[in-house]
Amino acid sequence: MERKNLWAPWRIKYIQGLPKQSDCFLCDYLSTPDKDRDNLILWRTEHAMVVFNKFPYNNGHLLVAPVRHIATLDDASDTELLCLMSLVRDCQKALSLAIGPHGFNVGMNFGRCAGAGLPDHLHIHVVPRWNGDTNYMHVCSDTDVISQGLQELYDQLLEVSQKENLPRKNHE
């Protein structure tokens, strides 16, 4: 049987960046507000931020994280928890307006054994989904097909955010 290659050249940035990154890329991003576009930080609030997952499972995969470097829900204040959930709501609205998903997966992973790639900084995944978006690529080769570039969607969500006054400020 002939062996075929599936090229994923975007993965090399992730692989090469692993030893160079500090213990927490979210904290690194938060410390450089002048690089929000490069780091794909969509929104910052007093207590939390929204950033694109640079290695997404699906187009529009966002991460909502507290500004404080905390690992668990027990570590979060009520204000931080409210802000995080308000931003999840606002992410869903912005993504719905920009790219029209049929649904969302929203979730959290605590500990490496549960799938947390960054176990020491609490974050919530917001993943847009479409009917029928589980295709043969993922099923057969554990490969995700991402249909839109991160910068293009970043610009699209910024535009929607401005029009819709997102994130809403009632949680600050």
- Catalytic residues, by residue number, are 123
Start-to-end CA distance of the chain, whole Å, equals 60
Gap between the Cα atoms of 66 and 64, Å rounded: 7
Q: What is the DSSP letter of 58?
A: S
Tell me, what amino acid is at 13?
A: K
DSSP 17: H
**Cα–Cα dist 102/120, whole Å:** 31
